[in-house]
Amino acid sequence: MQLGLIGLGKMGGNMAERIRRAGHEVIGYDNAPGKRDVDSLEALVAALEAPRVVWVMVPSGDPTRQTVRALGELLSEGDVIVDGGNSKFTDDKVHADELAPKGIGYVDAGVSGGVWGLENGYALMVGGSVEDVAKVQPVFDALKPPVSTEEQTAGEAGAGFVHAGPVGAGHFSKMVHNGIEYAMMQAYGEGYELLAAVDLVEDVPGVIASWTQGTVIRSWLLDLLVLALKEDPGLDRITGYAEDSGEGRWTVEQAIENAVPMPAISASLFARFASRQTDSPTMKAVAALRNQFGGHAVHAVEAVKPEAEKPA
């Protein structure tokens, strides 16, 4: 089949290549002239045969909203837009409602796989109507991991793809996936720090690597930590500043709204906030309180001496 793909960055470019390897035609558009096959959204739509499927793979928020709305003015009844970025699930219903009067379908696809997806395949969590998802299914089949021999023998479709429900269900599922990812990464990080903090363990990278086989905590994330430690055994080349891309916050917001306890995921999100503070105001208050009620010592900020008083 034909697919229009907007956004040919690290993930989008690899996805286009994997889809092409499966025998499909991909016509790509990107703001960067060196990557794209056509020079405009108008040219992209004109190059596709109806009914068209256009996959949007640009940063979430306004870039995605603007792209979907622009496509809504260019596409026709029977066409389908797929949002494969990390959009908030509440945006999906807005887009679907805006496109519905024009007869344009909308599918939200949560995609996991990162830069490794080209070779390993991508996990896909999809929301939309049965009819719209069916129009995109050949592309989903090209992107997802291959079915194992055991699954083929059992007649199963294989993991890596799910039609999670109506519009919004795909991005909601990916949001929860990323919230779990936050907590797993935090646990691995804390375990690494404790191992590195004691003199007893002489080969911290080796211990981490030993966990990748035969243990209940083995995972792809653990494999990636092993790779990171192989490249930089003491993690000396990077700082401990960790960003969050939004999904962890949205997961905690939904936990509050639905009264679902999420202590691990919440703590992992707040730990990322703490990583951005070189001198935490919270811990300043804690230290001050310990000094006030118990006379516990505090570490005073060293006064900055005038230039004339500084040692040569």
Between CA 202 and CA 199 the distance in angstroms is 7
**35-39, 118-122, 235-239, 275-279: lowest mean pLDDT where?**
275-279
Strands of the sheet with 161-165, listed across from one edge: 25-29, 2-6, 53-56, 80-83, 105-112, 123-127, 161-165
pLDDT in tens, 244-264: 889 999 999 999 999 999 999
Rounded to an integer, what distance in angstroms lies between the CA atom of residue 31 and that of residue 40?
9
127 DSSP β-pair partners = 108, 165
**Hey, do 2-166 and 174-274 end up sharing a CATH topology, with the first three levels equal?**
no
Listed in sequence order, the DSSP H helices in the chain are 10-21, 41-47, 62-74, 89-99, 117-120, 130-143, 149-154, 169-197, 204-210, 220-231, 247-257, 263-274, 281-294
Residue 157, SS3 per DSSP: coil
For residue 88 the two structure tokens come to: 């908030």
308: confidence class by pLDDT, cuts 50, 70, 90:
very low
Per-residue pLDDT tens over the stretch 114-126 = 888 999 999 999 9
> Which listed CATH number (1.10.1040.10, 2.40.30.30, 3.40.50.300, 3.10.129.10) goes with 174-274?
1.10.1040.10
Read off the pLDDT of each residue in 106-113 and give the average, rounded to a whole number: 96
Angstrom distance (rounded) from CA 50 to CA 181: 39
Report, as residue numbers or ranges, the catalytic residues. 174, 181
Please give the pLDDT value at position 286: 82
Q: How far apart are CA 143 and CA 55, in angstroms?
A: 13
Token pair belonging to 197: 């903090």
Would you list the domain boundaries of the chain?
A: 2-166, 174-274
Q: What is the residue type of 123? A: A
Q: What is the mean pLDDT of residues 29-44?
A: 94
* % helix, strand, coil for the chain, step of 5: 50, 10, 35
The CATH-assigned architecture of domain 2-166 is: 3-Layer(aba) Sandwich (3.40)
Does 310 have pLDDT greater than 60? no
The one-letter amino acid code at 296 reads H
Confidence of residue 33 (pLDDT cuts 50, 70, 90): confident
Whether 311 shows a pLDDT value over 50: the answer reads: no
**Is 306 within 8 Å of 286 (Cβ atoms)?**
no
pTM: 0.88
Mean pLDDT across the chain, nearest whole number? 91
Strand (E) or helix (H) holding 146:
none
**pLDDT value, residue 279:** 75
Banded model confidence at residue 312, pLDDT cuts 50, 70, 90: very low
Mean pLDDT value across residues 188-201: 95
Structure confidence at residue 309 (pLDDT) = 46
Instruction: Please check the confidence at residue 161 and state whether its pLDDT lies above 90.
Output: yes
